[in-house]
Structures are given as C-alpha cells and as structure tokens.
Structure 1
Amino acid sequence: MKVLQLVKTSVGATWALKQMRELVKLGVEVHVALPTDGLLIEKYKEFGITVHAISYSLSHLYTSCKRLRQIVEEVNPDIIHSHFVLTTFIMRMALRADKRPRIFQVPGPLHLENIFFRKLDLWTARKNDIWVGSCKWTNDCYASNGISHDRLFLSYYGNDRMYEKSQVCNKIHKELNLNEDTILIGMVAYMYPPKYYLGQTRGLKGHEDFIDAIALVSQKYPQVYGICIGGPWKNGEAYEQKVKRYAQRKTDHIYFLGMRSDIPDLYADMYCVVHPSLSENLGGAAESLALGVPTVATRVGGFTDIVIEKETGLLVPPKDPDYLAHTLIDMLEGKYNLVKMSECGERLVYKMLDVKNTARTIFDIYHQIV
C-alpha cells in the first residue's frame, strides 16, 4: 500500500513523523509532501519516508495546488492522508476531481469550535473524504454535523515510551534558590498569541488564567509559586513579553523558565501541573500524566479522554481562574488522593498512546477504506 502524507511543517509535528515511522515498519510505502526547510527532513529520510518538497500557502494557492497535483501524479498513492486544516483545504482544492480516498486526521478541535471554519471543512469535502478524529470531542462534533459513521474514525496521535521519571531532586528549587518548603505548581506550554479572528482575547494555552489562579492561591498559601516553562510559538515574542508584564502586575509568585530540554527533571520538582488551555486535543496532559505528576486540565477537547475526573486527574472549566484556584487549594488541603490519581493516569496514558498501537489503528483504517 502506498500513502501520501501531507504535513505543513518540517520543524514541528513530530507526532505525525513518529506515526509515519511506525507505518513504514508495518509495510506501508510512505511518501510525505512538506516544506523542506526544517531540521526534521533528515529524520523523515532516516525512517525510510520519501520526501517531496512543497510550500502550502493560501496567498499562493494556485502554486500550492499545482505542485500538489504534480506530486500526486508522480507518486500515484492509494490514499492521501492530510494532518492539518491548511493541507486539507489545499488537498481538496487541488484534487477536486480525484476519486481516491482522502483522510483528514484532525490534530485538534480548534477549527471546529468556530462556525465559519467548521462549515468550510464540511462544505469542501466530497464523498471520498474521510475524517480520523484524534479525540472523542472531535468525532462527536462531526457526527452532530451529519458525518456518517462509515466516514468517521478515531485514532490518537501516539508517542514513544520516552518519558522516564527523573531521579534529580529539587532542580527548580536549587536553580531559583527557593526554600525547600516552597510548593511549585507548573505550566508547560508554548505561548500562543490570541487568535483575534476567532474572537480570542487571551492566549490559546491559558497563561493569563494560570497567572490569575496562582495570584489567588498564593494569597492564602504564600509558599506557593507558579512556574511557566516554554517560549513563544513562532512569532509570538511580543505576546510572551505581554504575558510577563501581566504576571508582574498580578503577583510576584510567578517564575518564567523559558524553553528547556530537561522537562522530566523540572516536572519532578512540581507539586502538580496545570493545563488551562482554551482549546486543546490531548496536549501536554499526556506528558504530565505519563510522568506521574498530579494533573489539572480544562474541560475542553481531548483533555477529557485522558484526564478523567478524580480518577486520573482533575478537570476545571476553561476561562475560570477562580475555579482553578479553588481546585488547587483543595489539592493543597488534601481533599484528593493525588498519588492514586497519578498512578492511574500513568497507566492509562501508556496503554492508550503507545505510538506502535496508534499507528496500527491507522494501518487498519487504511485497509478498511481502500
């Protein structure tokens, strides 16, 4: 079986790359069409994936469509598998007369939460278009908008079993010269500026809500500090500075550690970690659960697939820092068995999100639709 994958970046989206790697091991001839200016290109080649250069651009739609048609003619795949809204839209525009199966594996629910982009997705689809949601919320949304179950599948983007618990103790405490009794509550996420065209006024990952919640918690428990890890996404430097200024106005109990490569060591020093996203698939919750760290997440998107209330973690409403603060205070006051929840979360994540298993699901979907 020959499959052409469409990916809009060769800098990120390692989740798509790892899935392709496993599909190659299962005997699929994998081709990928993506920009070739990123560091991951050599990884694609190393894994036995044939690379085809393309630039996806709405401002140069004609050129993008023409190049994609050239690649499809050259490869002649059995299936075309797209991983982004942009690549899916260009695929559908370029290949309107093409009858072969086309998969849109939906990496996150953001575009479905906006009526214009949701309708655009549905209106541009044809009978040979198939959706693979990567969380239950996404599939429920498509089903409620009239997509039949024979065109709708579920498969998570998996990962390697790469999260090994750190043996390093008190790394953040030592780095920031904090007392041993200081309690650290973490947030690990890139800083995504608000998408104003979607009506957002705060960043997608909820940094402002995290800051507000820590400000409230630290008023009652002064030994609590918030730790933000992660830098700006793409051209988000101005937003990063805006977030830091916001934190300075709200509280002196927030530290920003920026981009780090020692995430497991930092997680090991946290009392718990918060994922206050406004929209999300599984997001960073998969990472914190895999590392056995008590996890709090907003009740959005795919978070609810793995953060099961009072079983693997705790859920809070999005855009509600007061509720988040009260939940953190309840945790600090011993109202939940955090050890038991962390152990359950770790087991669930490794069972659900092993990339070998998730890629096998995609492999089975291929055979079902061909």
Structure 2
Amino acid sequence: MELIYNGVDLDRYERQEPCCTLPEEYGMEPGAQLVGVVARLEPEKGHPTLLEAWPKVLQSCPEAYLLIIGEGSRRAELERQVSELRIAHRVVFTGRRDDIPAVTAALEIAVLPSYREAQGLTILEAMALRRPVVASAVGGIPEMIEDGLTGLLVPPRDPEALATAIVRLLRDHSLADTLGRAGHDMVHDRFCIELMVKAIERIYDRGARCVRLTDAAAS
C-alpha cells in the first residue's frame, strides 16, 4: 500500500496577489490584522473552539479580526456563539467566496482548529502562499506541520492553547515570517502537484507491469 498526499499547484499560488478590498467589503479598519479559517461550517472543523479562543486573542491584540470563510450547516449556531461571547465587532462571516487564494493571501495567520482531519488541503494552500499556520494536532495534520518549524500545532478543543499560538504569531512578526517561508518550502518539497502526479503514474506503471506479467504467465 502506498499513501499519496493531495498536491498543490504551486504555480497558481506563486503569482497570487492578496485581496485588498476585504476591509472595505466588511467594514473593517484599514490595515487591521486578519486571522482566518477556511473551512466548511460543520462540527468536525472546530469553529466553536476558535470562537471561544477569540476573546483571549482580543485581550492581547484588540485590533485583530477573525474571518470565518465558508458556509455550512452550523452557521446560525456559530453566529449565536459570537453574539453570546460579545465579539461580533471583531468576527466576520464571509460566506462562500470564489477568491479563496486571494483572501488567504491577505491573512496574517491561517488557522484550522479541526477536531478531526484527513489532510487539510487549506493548510497546504496557505503554506503555499507563505502564510503562517496554526492548526490542531489531529489526523494527518502533524504529517504536514512540524511544530515550531513549519507552523504551530495545538491540542484540539483547547481554546487557551489556540489563543496563545495565535497571539504569539500576531506579536512576533519575525517568527510568523520564518514559519511562513519554511512552510512554503516544505510544500514545494513534499506536497507539490507534480509529486502527486508522479506517484500516481508509478502506481499505474506497476499495475500495468503486473497485468503484463500475469498475461504472459497465462499464455
């Protein structure tokens, strides 16, 4: 058995310009620090933990905004949580967008607080854009992020740890830049689409050889 990871088309992201209209679109202050999560609004994606962490982030970084990018069955529930936490002035639900790479490129930090995750393609896309990533240490995510080297890992369902990691990167721009560049290089070395295609081709080639050998033995 051979595991093949999803690959990222790096050429697409190398040329990507950030979306500059987000503050105007959503009534945010120009130059604000933007933290975002790109994920379906479904239970396994961990949005409640991120929202619970956000008041703690605002205590240290009151100028930050959280962008919830995506749609799903839990939107109304998450909006109620935002209201109950009294953080609506610093949380934006963008809904579904067609310019995810441009929006991701505009973020200072990309977050994925999932409770379970097979791979997390949005993490690789953020890394391809040199965005520092904070993510839960679940499923296949630790195979993509080496904690402290290519991103920051936190335990799932731990709002305190999540807030601490986000604040750390918002305050330490040098670390954020270092993680962003290291993550980009890692995606280039291990998760580019060319490697995925070559791995699939190897499997097909092996399968074809096995069929030829079987046919030859049977004749």
| In 2: Cα distance, 1:221 partner to 1:355 partner | 37
Which structure has more relative contact order (CA 8 Å, sep 6+)? It is 2
Does residue 37 of structure 2 align to residue 159 of structure 1? no
1:208 match = 48
1:230 match = 70
Number of equivalenced pairs:
204
How far did residue 338 of structure 1 move?
1.4
Q: 2:131 is paired with a residue of what secondary structure?
A: coil
Contact kept, 8 Å, 1:230 with 1:258, in 2: the verdict is yes
1:173 match = 23
Contact kept, 8 Å, 1:164 with 1:264, in 2: the verdict is no
Mapping of residues 302-321 of structure 1, within 5 Å: 302-321=140-159
2:84 match = 249
What does the per-residue CA deviation read over 1:85-128, in whole Å, with 9 as the maximum and x for residues that have no partner? Answer: xxxxxxxxxxxxxxxxxxxxxxxxxxxxxxxxxxxxxxxxxxxx
Identity %: 30
Q: Which amino acid in the other structure matches residue 57 of structure 2?
A: V
| In 1: Cα distance, 2:155 partner to 2:82 partner | 21
In structure 2, relative to structure 1, the CA distance for the partners of 1:220 and 1:339 (3 Å cut) is closer
User: Where do 5+ consecutive residues of structure 1 fail to align?
Assistant: 1-151, 193-202
2:214 match = none
| In 2: Cα distance, 1:339 partner to 1:171 partner | 23
Contact kept, 8 Å, 2:109 with 2:169, in 1: the verdict is no
Mapping of residues 1-370 of structure 1, within 5 Å: 152-161=1-10, 162-168=12-18, 170-192=20-42, 203-232=43-72, 236=73, 239-250=74-85, 251-252=87-88, 253-283=90-120, 284-334=122-172, 337-368=175-206, 370=210
By percentage of residues, which structure has more helix?
A: 2
Q: Which amino acid in the other structure matches residue 158 of structure 1?
A: G
Q: Which amino acid in the other structure matches residue 123 of structure 2?
A: A
Q: 2:37 is paired with a residue of what secondary structure?
A: strand
How far did residue 296 of structure 1 move?
0.7
Q: Which amino acid in the other structure matches residue 205 of structure 1?
A: K
Q: Which amino acid in the other structure matches residue 161 of structure 2?
A: Y
| In 1: Cα distance, 2:102 partner to 2:92 partner | 16
1:118 match = none
User: Where do 5+ consecutive residues of structure 2 fail to align?
Assistant: 211-219
How far did residue 169 of structure 1 move?
5.5
Contact kept, 8 Å, 2:36 with 2:67, in 1: the verdict is yes
How far did residue 155 of structure 1 move?
1.5
Contact kept, 8 Å, 1:191 with 1:205, in 2: the verdict is yes
Contact kept, 8 Å, 1:168 with 1:268, in 2: the verdict is yes
Contact kept, 8 Å, 1:165 with 1:264, in 2: the verdict is no
Contact kept, 8 Å, 2:16 with 2:105, in 1: the verdict is yes
How far did residue 366 of structure 1 move?
4.0
Higher radius of gyration, 1 or 2:
1
What does the per-residue CA deviation read over 1:284-304, in whole Å, with 9 as the maximum and x for residues that have no partner? Answer: 111110111111111111111
Q: Which amino acid in the other structure matches residue 303 of structure 1?
A: I
How far did residue 367 of structure 1 move?
4.2
| In 1: Cα distance, 2:15 partner to 2:68 partner | 20
What does the per-residue CA deviation read over 1:257-284, in whole Å, with 9 as the maximum and x for residues that have no partner? Answer: 0000111221232111101011112211
What does the per-residue CA deviation read over 1:164-213, in whole Å, with 9 as the maximum and x for residues that have no partner? Answer: 45334632112123223421110111112xxxxxxxxxx10111111111
| In 2: Cα distance, 1:333 partner to 1:303 partner | 24
Contact kept, 8 Å, 2:38 with 2:68, in 1: the verdict is yes
- What TM-score do the two structures reach when normalised by structure 2? 0.85
- What TM-score do the two structures reach when normalised by structure 1? 0.52
Q: CA RMSD in A?
A: 1.9
